[in-house]
Amino acid sequence: MHELILNEAHYERVMDKEIPKAKRFLWIATADIKDVYVEGPGRRFVPFLSVLDDLVKQGVDVRLIHAKEPGPAFRKDFDRFPGLLNNDRFERIICVRMHMKVIIIDGLLAYIGSANLTGAGLGAKSPKNRNFEAGMLTDDSATIEALMEELDTLYLGKHCTDCGRREYCPDPIV
């Protein structure tokens, strides 16, 4: 399956429908990260971090790789979910060279596209306030395997020792 995802369908299809289905693991790679909000219980909007917190509580391993330190609103929201800080199931790293926008769910489904983990990219914003985004949802095992291998290489810091941007890295892995 290869499904084209455009504009607000990013929120509807990826954030609202697929991510909450994660059972084993969820990997997210993004260049930019902000305080994304999604529809929660009772049709009220909640920080996406609450979805991640719920997944971790259900035993889902979550990896988040992003390029820069998030803004103050994200950090304030993050502090409301101490379970993400004190849980081995939640891992977050910064790689200043990260520009991919990839989401992998249980090694069975992957999103690859232009949308960052921001309200205008993947969050619940009105169509008049969203970015114009394009992406693909796929269950192609060869594609997912290659993406996972690349993200695992980055996550394990295999590029860190000879990275040409190391001087800008706030927290080198190696």
Domains of the chain plus CATH, in order, are: 2-168 (3.30.870.10)
Q: How confident is the model at residue 95, as a pLDDT?
A: 87
Q: How confident is the model over 28-68, as pLDDT tens digits?
A: 999 998 888 888 878 888 889 999 999 999 999 999 999 88
Cα–Cα separations (whole angstroms), residue 172 to 31, 130, 135, 147: 16, 33, 30, 22
How far is the C-alpha of 65 from the C-alpha of 94, rounded, in Å?
6
Q: In which band, very low, low, confident or very high, does the pLDDT at 172 lie, cut at 50, 70 and 90? A: low
Q: How confident is the model over 98-115, as pLDDT tens digits?
A: 899 999 999 999 999 999
Q: How confident is the model at residue 166, as a pLDDT?
A: 65
Specify the residue for token string 């983990």. 117
- Whether the CA torsion 9, 131, 25, 75 is positive or negative: it is negative
pLDDT for residue 12 is more than 80: yes
| Nearest residue to 124 via CA among 6, 3, 4, 15 | 15
Q: How confident is the model at residue 14, as a pLDDT?
A: 94
Q: In which band, very low, low, confident or very high, does the pLDDT at 18 lie, cut at 50, 70 and 90? A: very high
Q: For 160-173, what is the mean pLDDT?
A: 69
> 145 is written with which tokens?
């395997």
